[in-house]
Structure 1
Amino acid sequence: MAGPHLEAIVETADGVPSDAFEVTVAVGEPGVAGLRPVRLDVRYLGPEPVTASVRLVAEIPGGPATEESSETGDAAGSEGGSQAGKRGGVVKEWPWWLIPGAFYGENRPEACDRIFPRFAVGEADPQAMVSSAWEFRADRAATPAVFGWSDTGGVVLVAQESSTLGMTGPGLSAGETGARVHLRFPYAEHPVSYDGTQVAAPALREEHTWQPAEEHTLTAWVAELDGDRHGYAEVLRAVHELWADEAPVEPWVSVPEAADIAAEGLVRWHYDPDPGVLLETIGFDRGIGGTDRQAMHIGWVSGIPWAQALLGYGHRTGDEAAVAAAERVIDFCTAELAPSGTFWGTWYRATGWAQSWSPIKGALHARTLGEAALFLVRALGTPSGVRHPRWRAAAVSNLDVMAGRQRDDGNLGTLHHAQTGHVMSWSGAAGLTWVAALCEAGEQGLDGDGRYLAAAQRAGEYYARFVDEEFLYGAPEDVDLAPSSEDGYAAVLAYMALHRRTGEARWLDLARRAADWMLTFRYTYNTGFDPRTPLGMYGFASRGADNASPSNPHLHAYGMVCTAEMLQLAEALGDDYYADRALEHLACFRQCVPRVDGEMNAYRGMITERYYQTAAFQPKGMILGLSHAWSVGVLLLGAEQALAAGRA
């Protein structure tokens, strides 16, 4: 096989191709996952210094799909993901993109309220962040790679984060002459730069000034792909294996010590016994007021999930104070339900229980409610559950209400009115976490007639289209309908729960596909930090960390929420790759754990939510100086699940 057609172009700072360079491109034989090594030898022939960059370009084979499937399916992208890749009745969009962790298909669904880069053929509105061509700096990507597919085939280019010319940059474009992916050495961000603020920042270009007779050798990899978008999984797996030895991760603490520190942090800093809450954020600097958020979500960024993790820790270690604190939080969360029969969304000290973080008045978010219900069901399986009948009643109320609202096609809804129970939005895949809650209810004896399992199966079938399309979105309250790593976690929780209950291979395969998609957000390399920044000084290794989402770019640890499921998936498949990636995530976030008061300018047991790996929100190398209840809680949960599985 000759391999994909590649073109190397040298452009001056104003984007004009230059003929003052000699470039040779050598492509090697295909290796694992069909990846071919590429070598570019570039020599400047001009007499005067010039600022220029090198682009390695590959065309996407094929073109738009022109025939519809013979099956019948949804035609509405607003309810079943984007229109791309639907199994029934809808022409596939073309092209389809993936820059792992940074860009997914169209990237921003048209109905999404949050503004961040969006791809649309033939459109150019940089201030609205809509374009048919995008370029990014490599450290925005969990793997510096750019994939592009037509309906019939695809191509991927991969490179290291940096070369001798500076940081690399992946890019994509489509127009009347076709669709292309490219790598730029050094990077550019175009047509605008996204800094997380929803306001377009000026385009950027890292500059390298070539001197007469200067030479550089650049390396990359290229692979041809078929029309199956899931082909990224084999490529990223191969890249992870190729790079892992060059990207060591050195945890500061053991898994048991991580659990001890996190449990102490939850009780010492986030737990408030009056009225019995886990405060969402606590400032690192206790000498400055106003940084503690006097609020608690029912799930997600605070609330029942992390109280349940503390409860499990307390029972395992005999820590009565931890058990008492966890029980008090769950008691408070279950003492008052919304008039519609589900949990409330958020508690505020000044005003009490209220809705979720939604601009829509009265809205409760399905993912947040579902996560609270899932971990409440799990709490029922502890000795504490027997002592607290109100927990069981609250779980049954939530499960009954959500199963009763389920649409005939299986959709569980995204936004629910706190007062009336009216489903205010059916868009996205936020209901996935309810699949796990409905399944696990049976494990606690709450599903005698099998009604919950039947609802979970219907929902599993409905939301499978998002997994099949490789485009899940809608899970976090704060990014509207953006794709996110949290959608991947929810899908893994859901489909592993269905597999545990039924043993059906269909659910196991969806769990595997969901896990592969989730792992696109997980860094396969250690990005370089300036040694003068906090992350540089502490030697933070990014391999194993997840980018939160294309719309909310920072490294976070939420992936530990499904540590147990990833370990179970590995066992069920006989493939330890998934366990290794889960334990790699746990290892990554056993770095930067304050072990003594004052370490990292924090107190023992305070865990930040955000590690800034790229130019968004804050300068690269900084950390957010707040401890988040979920960040502490998910470390505790991941450690407890690893210990329970004997993988610590």
Structure 2
Amino acid sequence: MKKCISILFACCVMAGETLAMEGRLSQRITLKTPGNPAVTHDLRESAVGGGILEADRELPLIVRRQKTETDNEIRIVLTLTASELLYYNVEQSFRTGLTHAECLFYMPGFWYHKNLRSPKTAPSFHTSDSWQVREDRLSTPLTGVYDQQTGAWYTVLRTDTPDCEALACHNYGEVILSGRTSLGFTGFRNADARAALVFGFPYSEAPYSYIRKLTLAPAVQAFEKLEKGQTRRLTWTIRKGSSPSYSSFVAAVWNDSFDTLDPRPIDPRYTPDEAKAILSEYFSRSYVGNYPLKFTSGVELRTADCQSTDIAEVGFVGRVLLNAFNALEYAEANGREELAAEARSIFDSYLHHGFTPGGLIREVVDFKREREADVYSIRRQSEGIYALLSYLDYEKRRGRSHPRWEARIRTLLDKFLALQNPDGSFPRKFRDNLAVVDASGGSTPSATLPLTMAHAYFGGEAYLQSARRTAGYLEKNLISKADYFSSTLDADCEDKEASLYASTAMYYLTFVTGGRERQRYVDLCREAAYFALSWYYLWDVPFAQGQMLGDVGFRSRGWGNVSVENNHVDVFIFEFATVLDFLARECGEPRFARMSDVIRSSMLQLMPVEGSLFGIARTGYYPEVVQHTAWDYGKNGKGFYNDIFAPGWTVASLWQMLSPDRVDRFFANR
């Protein structure tokens, strides 16, 4: 078995003092009487011992704290027993001793470094240097603090099993919950210039809550009812370690979290063939053939009726060309002649009408509103070429040639070579004359895929050299800095897709290189993969009765959060599960393969079929904006979808996941 070059992902115990020192760990409880302001009481260990915590006055409950300590870990069990009816919120704080200004922070799937890539209207250090959030915002209910000067780090992980949630009448201020919940909070705080981990129960968000895209709201503190004689037991684990970089810190924490939470695959509802048969209904029902460009309608549809719109979008969201290829491949394998004819008509229409005067793919055309995007993106152009090369390779293997298509793609690839900067990056957005509109390099890895494919298909050395230069840029500016940002086109922030694309880009380069160079790409693929994995849920978020996702039994494990700005989960996966399987083999890392199994089993949960539509009007139109926390994209909120969605990309993503041999097949014998 091949071994990856080590980047020290091990969790190393810091020398010297043990983790637990009295005075570092403090706690307080806030009690609320309905109709009155809440009152907070600091708690300290009682002189009577036994882990009893007491306040300066007698309280209507007994609070007992048990600590189990080792050199690098404290396990905390907090038990609250009410002596009369009360409403409470309990908070604990652990002072790390690290200088706050020197630290970077980590809340998986929501916070990286200091979130300075995000704007002031999303959670970031631009607004505050102390944040605490409800646990269901996070792919792992954990906060980490990393000292970039010494490599020392601390984390706190909630270890209770979530099994219930309660509705709240308000999302700000002091809120009494309607019933029992499993959701607490976690975060970090500047405590007299020292970094502290803060955590507690039930949830409390400060200094702001985040309720929809770029909309901060006032802080919220929730209170759970505890009846007389009732007990609530809460558990957390604090750990410390040392890592040589923020990347290795994130990797070590992900490995540890995976081992602790131990997510298991969900019992599959469908085989891959059955899933494709359901998804194929989208291809036929979404086909729009009454415009010069033929396309599958995948943008701005309503979940309530799934009626086709008049927007043709090539990449990012609509994925028209990739879905045309998927439809053609499926139709020919299953004798669906009408579907095959529709798929071919899409390719033919784009050959004749799908390019700009400058030779770029027409990215977004809205026929009803009679408008068209005149700013182009390296991401959509790349995704278009990716689909076209997949189509041409499929056709070539069946003895069918398309010289006009090949000429079109070569012209477009020449534009790519002209756009590439000396440092290997590509601008995020530009005009038809290649004038740069957005010079950000965050979308660069999306170009690596078609460049490696073009080298394999056409044999052009220039394409391989261009791909290698993207790898150099990614290594220097994204991967080595652990700075993955703005790959998605509808947000300017830290996001999942930048790390996922970076990892996938390195995976593609392993097919066209060998020896030490290939091993370098394997190592970079692995390093970026940990950041992509950090966005994927290792636990099941609880929902309240009446929240549709909970009522239908949705499990969030294996689904990925999107970005700091767009705080919902989705099925963006494409080849990444295959990348994880590849890394498991190359690096001898079974966790990757196990997580791939979780993802593959989980992402098919909400497949809409007759009699089990999961809130979607049509069979096969897979949902997009799955709102799993106290945030909405504009409508409906936790437990529901936004009313507008884009099934074009969700179908394409799942189809790619269900075709794990596709990339191998493309590069085979080349």
- Does the TM-score normalized on the shorter chain lie above 0.5? yes
The correspondence for 1:204, drawn from 220, 225, 228, is: 220
Instruction: Report the Cα distance in structure 2 between the residues aligned to 1:548 and 1:101, rounded to whole angstroms.
Output: 8
Between the aligned partners of 1:267 and 1:641, the Cα distance in structure 2 is: 23
- How far apart in 2 are the matches of 1:285 and 1:469? 43
Cα distance in 2 for residues equivalent to 1:214 and 1:609: 41
For structure 1, the residue ranges without an aligned partner over 5 or more in a row are 65-92, 121-129, 356-361
Distance in 2, Cα, partners of 1:333 & 1:587: 35
Deviation at 1:96, TM superposition (A): 1.1
1:389-468 → structure 2 map (5 Å cutoff): 389-418=403-432, 420-444=433-457, 446-448=458-460, 450-464=461-475, 465-468=477-480
Partner Cα separation in structure 2 for residue 38 and residue 262 of structure 1: 46
Q: 1:175 to 1:540 in 2, by over 3 A?
A: same
Q: Deviations over 1:64-103 (max 9, x none)?
A: 7xxxxxxxxxxxxxxxxxxxxxxxxxxxx73211111111
| C-alpha deviation, 1:301, in angstroms | 0.9
- After TM superposition, the structure 1 = structure 2 runs for residues 208-607 of structure 1, keeping only pairs within 5 Å, are 208-209=224-225, 216-227=232-243, 228-230=245-247, 231-244=249-262, 249-272=266-289, 274=291, 275-281=293-299, 282-286=301-305, 292-302=308-318, 303-335=320-352, 336-350=354-368, 354-355=372-373, 362-383=374-395, 386-418=400-432, 420-444=433-457, 446-448=458-460, 450-464=461-475, 465-479=477-491, 481-503=492-514, 504-596=518-610, 599-601=613-615, 602-607=617-622
Distance 2:652 2:445 in 1: 21
Amino acid at match of 1:249: I
Go from structure 1 to structure 2 and tell me whether the alpha carbon gap of 1:613 and 1:371 turns closer, same or farther (over 3 Å shift). same
**Structure 1 residue 453, shift from structure 2 partner:** 1.0
Structure 2 residue 115 is matched with structure 1 residue 116: no
Given the superposition, is the C-alpha separation of residues 627 and 348 from structure 1 closer, same or farther in structure 2, using an over 3 Å criterion? closer
Question: How far 1:644 sits from its partner (Å)?
Answer: 8.7
1:467-495 CA-to-partner distances (Å, cap 9, x unmatched) read 2222211111111x211111122112211
Aligned to 1:10: 28
Within a 5 Å distance, the mapping from 1:39-118 to structure 2 comes to: 39-43=76-80, 51-63=87-99, 94-109=102-117, 112=119, 115-118=121-124
Task: Please tell me whether Structure 1 or Structure 2 has the larger radius of gyration of its CA atoms.
Answer: 2
Distance 2:273 2:200 in 1: 44
Residue 635 of structure 1 corresponds to 654
| Inter-partner Cα distance in structure 1 for 2:287 and 2:485 | 30
Structure 2 counterpart of 1:117, which letter?
P
- What's the Cα RMSD here? 2.9
| Matched letter for residue 600 of structure 1 | F
Per the TM alignment, residue 609 of structure 1 is displaced from its structure 2 partner at its CA by: 0.7
Instruction: Report the residue type matching 1:397 in the other structure.
Output: T
What's the offset of the Cα at 1:582? 2.7
Alpha-carbon displacement from aligned partner over 1:584-620 (angstroms, at most 9, x marks no partner): 2221121121222673352221211122211111332
Q: Is the 8 A contact 1:485 1:518 kept in 2?
A: yes
Deviations 1:188-235 (A, max 9, x none): 011111112423222111113567887543211222132422222233
Cα distance in 2, alignment partners of residues 594 and 44 from structure 1? 45
Q: Which residue of 2 aligns with 1:82?
A: none
Supply the distance in 1 between the matched residues of 2:413 and 2:604 (Cα, whole angstroms): 35
Q: Structure 2: which amino acid aligns with 1:149?
A: Y
Percentage of identical aligned residues: 20
Q: Name 2:195's counterpart in structure 1.
A: 179
Question: Structure 1 CA distance, aligned partners of 2:268 and 2:664?
Answer: 19
1:147 corresponding residue in structure 2: 144
Deviation at 1:147, TM superposition (A): 0.9
Aligned to 1:38: 75
**Offset of 1:521 from its aligned partner?**
0.9
Shift of 1:319: 3.7
SS of 2:286's equivalent in the other structure is: helix
Question: What CA deviation, in whole Å up to 9, does each residue of 1:551-578 have, x standing for no partner?
Answer: 1111100113433333333332233432
Q: Distance between the aligned counterparts of 2:453 and 2:663, measured in 1? A: 18
Q: Residue 37 and residue 560 in structure 1: after superposition, are their counterparts in 2 closer, same or farther (change >3 A)?
A: farther
Please list the CA deviations of residues 417-444 of structure 1 after superposition, one character each: whole Å capped at 9, or x if unmatched: 12x2112222241121101111111111
Structure 1 residue 53 displacement after superposition: 2.7
**Structure 2 gap ranges (5+):** 1-16, 32-37, 44-53, 56-62, 164-179, 666-670
Shifted more, 219-228 versus 521-530: the winner is 219-228
What letter corresponds to residue 139 of structure 1 in structure 2?
D
Indicate the residue corresponding to 1:71 in structure 2. none
SS in structure 1 of the partner of residue 92 of structure 2: strand
Measure, in 2, the Cα distance between the counterparts of 1:605 and 1:217. 43
Which of the residues 47, 50, 68 maps onto 1:27?
68
CA distance in 1, matches of 2:240, 2:211: 32
Q: Deviations over 1:374-395 (max 9, x none)?
A: 2222222102684433332232
Q: 1:544 to 1:645 in 2, by over 3 A?
A: farther
Letter in structure 2 aligned against 1:366: I
Q: Match for 1:476: what amino acid? A: T
Q: Equivalent residue of 1:180, what SS?
A: strand
What is the SS of the residue equivalent to 2:538?
coil
> What is the match of residue 126 of structure 1?
none
- TM-score normalised over the length of structure 1: 0.83
Distance 1:264 1:640, change over 3 A: farther
Contact kept? 2:426, 2:441, Cα under 8 Å: no
Amino acid at match of 1:432: P
Q: 1:139: Cα distance to partner?
A: 0.6
Kept in 1, the 8 Å contact 2:265–2:598? The answer is no
Contact 1:60 1:150 in 2 (8 A): no
Distance 1:486 1:4, change over 3 A: farther
Deviations 1:119-171 (A, max 9, x none): 24xxxxxxxxx111111111110110111111111111111465987411111
Alpha carbons of 1:406 and 1:206: their partners in 2 closer, same or farther (altered >3 Å)?
same
Amino acid in the other structure paired with 1:53: N
The 1:215–1:363 alpha-carbon spacing in structure 2 relative to 1, beyond 3 Å, is: same
Q: Point out the more displaced range, 331-340 or 588-597.
A: 331-340
- Paired with 2:42 and 2:95, the residues of 1 have a C-alpha distance of 21
Greater mean alpha carbon deviation, residues 130-139 or residues 194-203: 194-203
Contact 2:265–2:602 under 8 Å retained in 1:
no
Distance in 2, Cα, partners of 1:176 & 1:327:
66
Q: Is the 8 A contact 2:265 2:601 kept in 1?
A: no
Q: Secondary structure at the match of 2:211?
A: coil
The one-letter amino acid of 2:75's match is V
